[in-house]
Amino acid sequence: MSELHCPSCGSCGFPMREPADFAGGDPDSGFCATCGDDHGQLRPYDAVLEANAAYYVREQGVNAEAARELARALLASMPAWKSAAPSHPRNP
């Protein structure tokens, strides 16, 4: 895998290689075009969850329910959402 060589989305882990892969086409965004809006800002959790679920449906052929569970598990492990995850609140 090449994740050491290209930045990945802080929200879903998608590797971003081209400017068009970044939210708003901005390589400084830190989020991919799926998770960020046209200004490079992270979209609301529900929007990101739906977008990633749609990705699983499209790429893996799973049904909508299973896709949403996969997306939920993925987002729960990502830095952008860790603090928002209800299961393991962290108090630094």
Residue found by looking up tokens 């949403």 in the block: 68
Question: Is 39 or 89 the residue whose CB approaches Zn ion more closely?
Answer: 39
* Helix, strand, coil share (%) of the chain residues, nearest 5: 40, 5, 50
Distance CA 24, CA 3 (A): 21
Residue from the set 8, 29, 30, 35 that interacts with Zn ion by CB under 5 A = 35
Stretch near Zn ion under the rule CB under 5 A, chosen from 28-36, 38-46, 56-64, 76-84:
28-36
Q: Which of 74, 75, 78, 50 is nearest to 64 (CA)?
A: 50
Q: Is 12 in the site for Zn ion (CB under 5 A)?
A: yes
Name which position in 11, 30, 71, 75 contacts Zn ion (CB under 5 A). Answer: 11
For binding to Zn ion (CB under 5 A), which residues are involved? 9, 11-12, 14, 32, 34-35
